[in-house]
Amino acid sequence: MTPQDTEYNFAYLDEQTKRMIRRALLKAVAIPGYQVPFASREMPMPYGWGTGGVQVTAATLTPEDTLKVIDQGADDTTNAVSIRKFFQKVAGISVTEKTAEATVIQTRHRIPERDLEAGQILVYQVPIPEPLRFLEPRETETRKMHALAEYGLMHVKLYEDIARHGHIATAYAYPVLVEGRFVMDPSPIPKFDNPKLSNSPALQLFGAGREQRIHAIPPFTRVVSLDFEDHPFERGGADADCAICAASGVYLDEVIVDDAGGRMFVCSDTDHCRERLEAGHRGPMGAPAEGEAA
Amino acid sequence: MYVAVKGGERAIDNAHAWLAEARRGDVSVPELSVPQIREQMTLAVNRVMAEGSLHDPDLAALAIKQARGDLIEAIFLIRAYRTTLPRFGASEPLDTGAMAVSRRVSATFKDAPGGQVLGPTFDYTHRLIDFSLAAEAQANPQAETAEAPPPPRTPHIAEFLDAEGLLQPEREDAGAGAPPDLTRQPLAFPATRALRLQALARADEGFTLSLAYSTQRGYGRNHPFVGELRVGVVAVEAEIPELGFAVEIGDIELTECETVNQFAGSKTEPPQFTRGYGLTLGHCERKAISMALVDRAMRWQELGEDFAGAPAQDEEFVLSHCDNIQATGFLEHIKLPHYVDFQAELELIRTLRREAAAGPDPVKEAAE
Amino acid sequence: MTAAPGSAPVPVPVPAPGSALEGGFAQPPLDAARAFRALLDALSRPGRINRLPGATPPAPFPEAAGALALALCDGETPVWLAPELRAPDLRAWLTFHCNAALTEDAAEAAFAFGAPAALAEALDAFSIGSPEYPDASATLVVLLPGFEGAPLTLAGPGIDGAATLTLPEAVAALHAPNRALFPQGRDLFLVAGDRVAGLPRTTRITRKEG
């Protein structure tokens, strides 16, 4: 734990703002998948860099928390580093790269491979919270559709995909139905991660700063990826194992290794990869890495 | 051996150090001071104050220096700072009739009480590069000052039209109750005019300008005349609860534009001119005029006009996209890593191409 | 005035014993964060009973109700108190510590505090939100002598299968309209002493067999 910079209120936001966000979070938990409007503040980082997730995390953190921040599944991506540093400075909380040790995990674009546990909170950064936005740009219209549970437009879109491509042509931010009522955008996670949204013991909170919306999936909530009986949801994912830790059944990044089209696949979840390496698993490229601690 | 890229923290620190160096530029050239920016880049300072929604010329000048002259970045610095400031209360409505005007022009009358005051304007300059400005240590320029002191009040041109009943009065309920606060409540539609004006006052100048221009070219045309454009200093008063009356807490410079637009009328009501309104912090007249045109365009429903489908008429379109801090954040975020999503797209497109190469898909045929 | 980032926390003056100035959080930003987490956890996992300490409001307000008010209520949230709670000292305490906007109009309430009977009497007046904005609903804070009464079986989001919570019968009645109203509805926090449980509108409540 680092000492909190006393120039700032705990977790940066003023108490009034935190109360406003906290009330919105409680409503979001009570109405799973529904987008609660909240008066998002201008943060000292740009919209699009995770201001929604940062505000949700700031309103959620207690001094006892241990925070993990990932972007693209990795703890060491620049924006994850930047957000982690921000909370160390303004909240003085402990941080970790280990999924198992974290009580609050802020993420952009991934769900950790390791199963989350009861009591953990996963905070997603969300760019466009409205799953219907690209079908109907008007908020006044989409709000009505949610009120009436009128999701025909979404089904038409998905079916047109099948007619054109033979598949539902959505690879990430794949829409889900939460507890049989609200169609929700799970943020731009790869659809590979969608099954992990459902029935998780952890609490999942979603913050969209620029769009001023918060939504949530409580633990043990039914989340179904939209599909058709004759075209069931497919998880996808590369048909390969991690070149470093030999993990299979995990989400892999494709890395171009030379100018001749050579490529390899490695775990997107860097903590998961590290954990497996420490447990002795080795892929073809998985010699113990020097400078791993750099 | 493949080693994942590490050291994000060091890379960030180094980038920040390089940024500081680039900001300073060639160290053999004297460093800019904040007062220099405040005094000699005043229109940049004014834009940063207007769109940053904070009247503080020193802070705006500092933000411009820190942002290397990138005004949207400077506006962002001001916004992020502003949102942390404690709020002591709301001022009394500003009385722009009591403005000490430095510029005041009307396009609708040749002359009017209070007169036409050109003020410090580019309007009639010939846009010829003035190479003499490249020389340093020039004589201090000085303009002649009027002999008569300025009048305590400069009546609004609209008041003359009002007196004749020619101009639609502002709705009486327009000033009723506390106005909404865009920075404290989530945006919801339909928006009131007060909320629309609030959004436009901090809207991006370029976006507002282009929308206003589009109305002039026929996308929601509303025939504007600049009834009046005035720039000057206005006293800000606030009621102090302990005193029970309002006291002056400072002066701010404002730009106000009132347009007189095409008339509305019906069988029961004789035609009247309508209006658009623009108001900004600081001297930002391009912005204030643009704001008045867009305000007027968004009033189509209230004035019983048709929605022509023009972007400037569409409050949801305008209000959702006019904020340059939101816009630039979301636009620029696409340079952040997206390789996880891109990987998902790669896999999907490879699957689709593989299947296309393998022959017609029976499902597709069945669907057609 | 709330503390803002950029300003150091203002030292709180030591209040005179017995005054409305007493009984707030000792460290407001930190205690409010902890209180919120207890509430978030309670609402996310119905059936759990969490500790919610840190406040000493005037009687008959339980400690947990005081902490909830300190964590969630302010000038933006009309607070409705059941008639038996409208004593001057409690009103003064809520006004001083929360800047709470007290109302006697149940329809206005964002938060309503009361024993089950008083809440039941005004139940229909409390907002359920609108179809477009189901979040614009009242949250009922139910003051209980303890978590005693009938064992109820809970199911729904937040619950792995089924959970059990022992509550007075009258609480189930406060929650009963939610099933037909969803996604509109009223969420419940149940407070007794320094403990809190949550019943979001999604929870399905049945009387435990046997």
What pLDDT is recorded for position C126?
A: 98
Q: Which of C31, C135, C159, C188 should be substituted to probe chain A, the one whose Cβ sees the most A Cβ atoms within 10 Å? A: C135
Pairing assessment for the beta strands B225-240 and B100-105 based on DSSP bridges: antiparallel
CA dihedral in degrees (C52, C55, C56, C58; nearest 10)? -90
For residue A33, indicate whether it is catalytic: yes
Q: Which residues of C touch A62 (CB under 8 A)?
A: 30, 33-34, 37
Does the beta carbon of A290 lie under 8 angstroms from any beta carbon of chain C?
A: no
- The alpha-carbon radius of gyration of chain C (Å, integer) is 17
**CA-closest candidate to residue B226, choices B75, B104, B68, B362:** B104
The answer to whether position C208 is within a domain reads: no
Report C:10-29 residues touching A (Cβ under 8 A): 28-29
Between CA C185 and CA C203 the distance in angstroms is 11
List of chain B residues whose C-beta atoms are within 8 Å of the C-beta of residue A85: 9
Q: What is the mean pLDDT of chain A?
A: 93
Residue ranges of the domains in chain B?
A: 10-82, 96-120+150-170+183-328
Active-site option among A33, A50, A73, A209 = A33
Per-residue pLDDT in tens (0 to 9) along chain B, 368 residues: 344 445 678 888 999 999 999 999 999 999 999 999 999 999 999 999 999 999 999 999 999 999 999 999 999 999 999 988 888 888 999 999 999 999 999 999 988 888 899 999 999 999 999 998 888 777 788 888 777 777 889 999 888 888 888 888 876 555 567 788 899 899 999 999 999 999 999 999 999 999 999 999 999 988 899 999 999 999 999 988 778 889 999 999 999 999 999 877 777 778 889 999 999 999 999 999 999 999 999 999 988 889 999 999 999 999 999 999 999 999 999 999 999 999 999 999 998 899 888 876 555 455 44
Neighbours of chain B (3+ CB pairs under 8 A): A, C
How far is it, in rounded angstroms, from Cα C188 to Cα C180?
Answer: 16
Tokens standing for residue B341: 């999503």
Domain assignment present for residue C71? The answer is yes
CB pairs under 8 A between A and C: 138
Strand ordering across the sheet containing C101-103: C50-51, C195-199, C187-192, C139-143, C111-114, C78-81, C101-103
Q: What percent of chain A has pLDDT over 70?
A: 95
Chain A residues in contact with B334 (beta carbon < 8 A): 48
Give A-chain residues touching C3 at CB under 8 angstroms.
Answer: 9, 14-15
A245 is known as an active-site residue? yes
- A5 touches A85 (CB < 8 A): no
Pairing of strands A104-108, A121-125: parallel
Beta bridge partners of A182: A178
Q: Which helix (H) or strand (E) holds C195?
A: strand C195-199
Q: Answer yes or no: is pLDDT of A38 > 90.
A: yes
Q: Which of A10, A35, A42, A257 to mutate to test the interface with B (most CBs of B within 10 A)?
A: A42
Taking only the tens place, the pLDDT of each residue in A237-260 is 888 999 999 999 999 999 998 888
Residues 6 or more apart whose CB falls under 8 angstroms from that of C187 comprise A26, A27, A30, C43, C137, C139, C140, C198, C199, C200, C201
How many domains is chain C built from?
1
Say yes or no: A118 contacts chain C, CB-CB below 8 A. Answer: yes
Structural domain boundaries, residue C137: 28-200
pLDDT block averages, 10 residues each, chain C of length 210: 43 53 92 98 98 94 97 96 95 93 96 98 98 98 96 97 95 96 98 98 86
Instruction: Give the strand pairing for B100-105 and C139-143.
Output: unpaired
Residue with tokens 């400078």: A291
Residue A119 annotated to the active site: no
Nearest to B347 by CA among C65, A10, A170: A170
Residue C23 within a domain:
no
CATH number at residue C126: 3.40.50.11310
**Nearest-CA distance B63 → chain A (Å):** 13
Domains located in chain A, CATH noted: 15-131+176-225 (3.40.50.11310), 237-286 (no CATH)
Q: How confident is the model at residue A86 (pLDDT cuts 50, 70, 90)?
A: very high
Q: Report the gap between the CA of A85 and the closest CA in chain B (Å).
A: 9
* Catalytic residue selected from A73, A207, A209, A273: A273
Residue A48 annotated in active site:
no
B2·A191 Cβ contact <8 A: no
CA angle A176, A181, A186 (to 5 degrees): 25
Task: Give the gap in angstroms from C-alpha C42 to the nearest C-alpha of chain A.
Answer: 10
Query: Chain C residues with CB inside 8 Å of B88's CB?
Result: 1
Whether residue A273 lies in the annotated active site: yes
What is the chain B residue with the closest CA to A286? B1
Which pLDDT does position B175 carry in this prediction?
A: 55
Interface test with C, best of A4, A16, A42 (most C CBs within 10 A): A16
Q: Say whether A30 and C2 touch across the interface (CB within 8 A).
A: no
In this complex, which of C131, C182, C201 lies closest to A147 when CB atoms are compared? Answer: C131
Give me the pLDDT at residue B2, please. Answer: 42
**Chain-chain contact of B84 with C2 (C-beta, under 8 angstroms):** no
Do residue B364 and residue A289 have CB atoms under 8 angstroms apart? no
User: What distances in angstroms separate CA A85 from CA A5, A247, C98, one per listed residue?
Assistant: 12, 30, 32
- C8 touching B, CB under 8 A? no
Inspect the interface and report whether the beta carbons of A148 and C131 lie closer than 8 Å.
Answer: yes
pLDDT above 50: residue A21: yes
Q: How far, in Å, CA of B260 to CA of C168, rounded?
A: 67
Compare CB distances from C43 to A7, A26, A36 and report the shortest one's residue. A26
Residue C73 within a domain = yes
Q: Residues of B with CB below 8 A from C4's CB?
A: 84-86
Q: What is the mean pLDDT of residues A110-139?
A: 96
**Cβ <8 Å between A190 and B344:** yes
For residue B292, the distance in angstroms to the closest alpha carbon of chain A comes to 24
Query: What is the rounded distance in angstroms from the CA atom of residue A116 to the CA atom of residue A124?
Result: 14
Dihedral over alpha carbons B251, B257, B260, B266 (to 10 degrees): -70
Residue A48 forms contact with C (CB below 8 Å)? no
pLDDT at residue A6 tops 80: no
Dihedral angle computed from the Cα positions of residues A200, A201, A202 and A205, in that order, rounded to the nearest 10 degrees: 50
Q: Which residue of C has its CA nearest to B185?
A: C76
Cβ within 8 Å, pair B333-A192: no
Out of A92, A209, A267, A283, which one is annotated catalytic? Answer: A267
Q: How far is CA A124 from the centre of its chain?
A: 4
Instruction: Quick: pLDDT tens for A211-223.
Output: 999 999 999 999 9
pTM, entire model: 0.91
